[in-house]
Homo-oligomer: A and B are copies of this chain.
Amino acid sequence: MQNYPSKLLEAAVNEFSRLPGIGRKTALRLVLNMLRRPTSDAERFANALVRLRTEVRYCNTCQNISESETCSICADQRRDRSLVMVVEDIRDVMAVENTSQYRGLYHVLGGILSPVDGIGPEQLNIQQLVSRLESGEVSEVIMALSTTMEGDTTVFYIFKKLQPFQVNVTTIARGVAIGGEIEYADEVTLGRSILNRTPYDSAFIR
């Protein structure tokens, strides 16, 4: 798949294949789809890309993507301002919001520490988190990062950074998924769920 019949085609395939998880064959399929659609579709797509990159703003407080200086979550006075949940990116914010179980604020890191990919503490919004704690308003920081090597390293790094402050640092519970079969749970998760067993409380059963 190397001899493209047109340089324009090849240029478009190159752009699509730079996206994560999209190889050159898939990119070509996407490009051929664009070619079959009206010119207005390509123009609208192009416009959305450029506006996204040039006009999108980030919340001054939590670094979430926002339409204004302060995002709608940070601006919502009904939310508990003493709770801050640290997440990797806005997809995690959306996932947690969908549960309707959390009424605190967020802090979006914009990634996790990954020296292999050249992502150090300076590339993440860690300093902004430290600054937020200086006001003394926050009493608990909930870490909701993935349990990979990088995620665990990031949690540990932030934990160290937060030592000077009077805040509780917690992590979300890890265990067997609700609806999940114990038989099929992986051994690490099952082991952790036994170590972190909680008192039986019928209020939480649903």
Contact = CB atoms under 8 A, between A and B. Distances in A.
A170 to B, nearest CB: 24
A5 B35 CA distance: 31
Contacts of A90: 5, 9, 32
Interface in A47-74: 47-57, 64-67, 71-73
A98 interface: yes
Given A14-B48, A49-B15, A53-B42, A65 B9 contact: yes
A77 interface: no
**Secondary structure at chain A's binding surface: helix, strand, loop or mixed?**
helix
A2 to B, nearest CB: 8
Interface stretch (A21-29, A177-185, A195-203): A21-29
A99 interface: no
Contact of A15 (B8, B15, B48, B72): B48
A20 B33 contact: yes
B12 A35 contact: no
A89 interface: yes
Q: Chain A contact residues (Cβ within 8 angstroms of B): what range?
A: 35 or more
Given A46-B46, A49-B42, A49-B46, A67 B29 contact: no
Contact of A47 (B6, B32, B46): B46
A169 interface: no
A190 interface: no
B54 A91 contact: no
Nearest to A110: B36
Interface of A: 1, 3-9, 11-12, 14-15, 18-22, 26, 28-37, 39, 41-57, 64-67, 71-73, 89-91, 93-95, 97-98, 110-111
6 contacts: A8-B48, A11-B52, A14-B48, A19-B34, A31-B52, A36-B110
